[in-house]
Chain A
Amino acid sequence: MLNFFHNSYIFILIEKLVNFINSIFFVLLLVALSFALVFSPPDYLQGDSVRIMYVHVPAAWISLASFSCIAIFSILNFIFKIKNLKLITKSIAPIGLMFTCIAIVTGSIWGKPTWGTFWAWDARITSMVIMALFYLFFIVIYKFFDDDKANKISSILAVIGLINIPIIKYSVEWWSTLHQPASIKITGTSTIHSSMLTPLMLMFFVLILYCALIFLMKYKTEIIKIKKKNLKRYDQ
């Protein structure tokens, strides 16, 4: 059982998973992109600029989900001191930052033709920028402090950043914002037509696969770093 969590075992598992995802990823990406860019209908109001949504919405979801993952793993790591969890949070953070930036940039590209402005300091957009800063600090801290200290600080940072997640989610309902409220509701009927929901879900699935791929590769690098460190110690 202990062997299951051993780094070498994880290393082999990652190799297999990466190969598997690589074999299906590009086909799925092509399918999803052709649905999103060609086969799905334009919107009755926005026209073709609705297609930006197929990247924007999944990117935003992923950025929120990966911060929640980081926060939960950080809490567990802080309390129980599990070494692997530190590697996992370190590997998720760059993905989260990247998708937060993608969500912000695509959002502002969409904002120009629809709202009439690239940028508005409303509650939704500002809270997204704050989350991007949390991601940035989480990553940068490891460059400035030694690993143990950075681990502690970043865990605390993640816990404080976790409070921002519900604020982002409900900002469009609590305050008046330029950003529209959510179209896809967990309870109740969604206000997005099924011919647009299908490509959205496809794109979401593909981007999740992409995240998994990047995450596994990053995780692998972190394990290699540790092995290298151990080798050095052995040499001396």
Chain B
Amino acid sequence: MLPKKVKKRASLLAILLFTSVIGIFLILNALNKNILYFNSPTDIKINQDINFDKKIRVGGMVKKDTLKIKDQEIRFIITDFKNEINVSFKGTIPNLFAEGKGVVAEGKLQDKKFFVADRILAKHDENYMPPELKNIMKDNAK
């Protein structure tokens, strides 16, 4: 049998772990909205009380064939395959920004369907492969 002192220390530690897990869970639960780095177009559609003066981030995929560049202004549609939002942006874009790829736009909502971004971040996906393989996959898709 374990000595009494050892048992005491073990139970103290177990209680400590238990309470801090619950504490951190509650904190994360309360912060839930703020932990999200960006909102999806669906989040914005559902959300009733949007502050149009506050900067927010919208993330999703750049919809294919919607990217238009006109007089330094870039327009495209962010989609999460359920809802869409129009984005307008002036400035430099990261290298990985492309149609059909993930994107996070930072800026202000004009209305629920139109977003004016002042910063664009490209979101990279978890796929890593050499360029030759990508070409083969493209050929197979055709």
Q: Is A116 within 8 A of B122, CB to CB?
A: yes
Whether A140 sits at the interface, judged by CB under 8 Å, is: no
Q: Is B130 within 8 A of A44, CB to CB?
A: yes
Task: Say whether, besides A41-B130, A42-B131, A163-B24, A117 and B9 are in contact (CB < 8 Å).
Answer: no
Task: Say whether, besides A116-B93, A177-B37, A79 and B10 are in contact (CB < 8 Å).
Answer: yes
Q: Is A123 within 8 A of B35, CB to CB?
A: yes
Binds A, one of B12-20, B45-53, B68-76: B12-20
Secondary structure of the B contact surface, majority rule: mixed
Contacts of B129 in A (CB 8 A): 43-44, 192-193, 196
Contacts of B6 in A (CB 8 A): 79-80
Task: Say whether, besides A44-B134, A123-B35, A159-B16, A115 and B121 are in contact (CB < 8 Å).
Answer: yes
Q: Provide 8 A-B residue pairs closer than 8 Å at the C-beta atoms, listed in order of the A residue.
A: A41-B131, A42-B130, A53-B128, A78-B13, A156-B16, A163-B21, A192-B129, A193-B129
Give the distance in Å from the alpha carbon of A123 to the alpha carbon of B28 in the complex: 11
Number of contacting residues on A, CB 8 A? Answer: 40
Secondary structure of the A contact surface, majority rule: loop
CB within 8 Å of A: which B109-138 residues: 119-134
Task: Say whether, besides A80-B6, A159-B16, A175-B36, A113 and B94 are in contact (CB < 8 Å).
Answer: yes
Neighbour of B123 across the interface among A115, A160, A162, CB < 8 A? A115
Give the distance in Å from the alpha carbon of A185 to the alpha carbon of B102 in the complex: 21
Contacts of A53 in B (CB 8 A): 128
Whether A122 sits at the interface, judged by CB under 8 Å, is: yes
Contacts of A22 in B (CB 8 A): none
Contacts of A42 in B (CB 8 A): 130-131
Q: Is B126 within 8 A of A180, CB to CB?
A: yes
Give the distance in Å from the alpha carbon of A121 to the alpha carbon of B40 in the complex: 17
Whether B59 sits at the interface, judged by CB under 8 Å, is: yes
Contacts of A79 in B (CB 8 A): 6, 9-10, 13
Give the distance in Å from the alpha carbon of A114 to the alpha carbon of B95 in the complex: 6
Contacts of A163 in B (CB 8 A): 17, 20-21, 24
Q: Is B130 within 8 A of A196, CB to CB?
A: yes
Give the distance in Å from the alpha carbon of A114 to the alpha carbon of B131 in the complex: 17
Contacts of A75 in B (CB 8 A): 13
Whether A198 sits at the interface, judged by CB under 8 Å, is: no
Whether A65 sits at the interface, judged by CB under 8 Å, is: no
Lowest 8 A-B CB distances belong to which pairs? A116-B94, A41-B130, A44-B134, A122-B37, A193-B129, A192-B128, A183-B126, A44-B131
CB within 8 Å of A: which B16-66 residues: 16-17, 20-21, 24, 28, 35-40, 59
